[in-house]
Amino acid sequence: MNDTAPVMRELIKTCSNMYRLGWNERNGGNISLIIDQEEAARYLDTTVSLGNFNFQFDASELAGRIFAVTRTGSYFKNVETDPEHNLGIIKINPDGKSASLLWGFSGGGRPTSELSSHLCSHIVRLRQDKNHRVVTHCHAANTLAMTFIHSLDDRSFTRTLWRMITECIVVFPEGVGVLPWMLCGNDEIGQATAEKMKEYRICIWAQHGIFAAGASLDEAFGLIETVEKAAEIYIKIMNSKILQSITDSELKAVAETFGLDYRKDFLD
**Whole-structure pTM value:** 0.94
* Residue 178 pLDDT greater than 70, yes or no: yes
**pLDDT by residue (tens digit) across 110-123?**
999 889 889 999 99
**What pLDDT, on the 0 to 100 scale, is given for residue 241?**
95
CA angle 188, 191, 197 (to 5 degrees): 145
Q: Which residues pair with 66 in a beta bridge?
A: 35, 91
Residue 1 has pLDDT above 80, yes or no: no
Helices and strands (H and E) in the chain: how many? 11, 9
Active site residue 114: yes
Q: Which of 114, 174, 228, 232 is catalytic?
A: 114
Q: What is the pLDDT of residue 184?
A: 85
CA geometry: angle 52, 73, 76, nearest 5 deg:
115
How far is it, in rounded angstroms, from Cα 155 to Cα 267? 9
Of 205, 176, 51, the closest CA to residue 114 belongs to 205
pLDDT digits (tens, 9 = 90+) for 136-170: 999 999 999 999 999 999 999 999 999 999 999 99
pLDDT digits (tens, 9 = 90+) for 197-222: 999 999 999 999 999 999 999 999 99
pLDDT of residue 48: 93
Average pLDDT score, the chain: 95
Residue 167: other Cβ atoms inside 10 A? 14
pLDDT of amino acid 170 = 98
Residue type, 5: A
Q: Are 238 and 224 in contact (CB under 8 A)?
A: no
19-47 confidence digits (pLDDT tens): 999 999 999 999 999 999 999 999 999 99
Round to whole Å and give the CA distance between 15 and 75.
9
Q: Which domains does the chain have, with CATH numbers?
A: 1-113 (3.40.225.10), 138-268 (3.40.225.10)
pLDDT greater than 70 at residue 262: yes
